[in-house]
Amino acid sequence: MEKFEDLFNPSFLKETKSRAAIPADATVTMAYVPLQESLKTYSDNEGLEKGTIFPVLNKEFCGRMVKSV
């Protein structure tokens, strides 16, 4: 099996003089994603309009407009 560093080595993981970028005992991990409890979905057209087909993910954007200097 190849070393993790050989397969995936972006610049932020490269070794530095102070410490190794990845611990010697690093292992591959597995994510846990729970199943969705609600299967309610929007229609195709409503999903395209809202940006999601899942009503629970339809969050209102409350950001502010950036003013130019």
Q: What is the mean pLDDT of each run of 10 residues along the chain (69 residues)?
A: 63 61 73 76 94 87 72
Residue matched to tokens 């102070």: 18
pLDDT at 16: 59
pLDDT at 28: 75
Residues 6+ apart with CB under 8 A from 1: none
Kindly state whether residue 30 falls inside one of the protein's structural domains.
Answer: yes
Kindly state whether residue 69 falls inside one of the protein's structural domains.
Answer: no
Check if the beta carbon of residue 45 is closer than 8 Å to that of residue 37: no
Cα gap 5→22, rounded to integer Å: 8
Kindly state whether residue 67 falls inside one of the protein's structural domains.
Answer: no
Full residue range of the structural domain in which residue 17 is found: 1-57
Name the pTM for this structure.
0.38
Count of structural domains, the chain: 1
Kindly state whether residue 66 falls inside one of the protein's structural domains.
Answer: no
C-alpha of 65 from chain center? 25
pLDDT at 9: 62
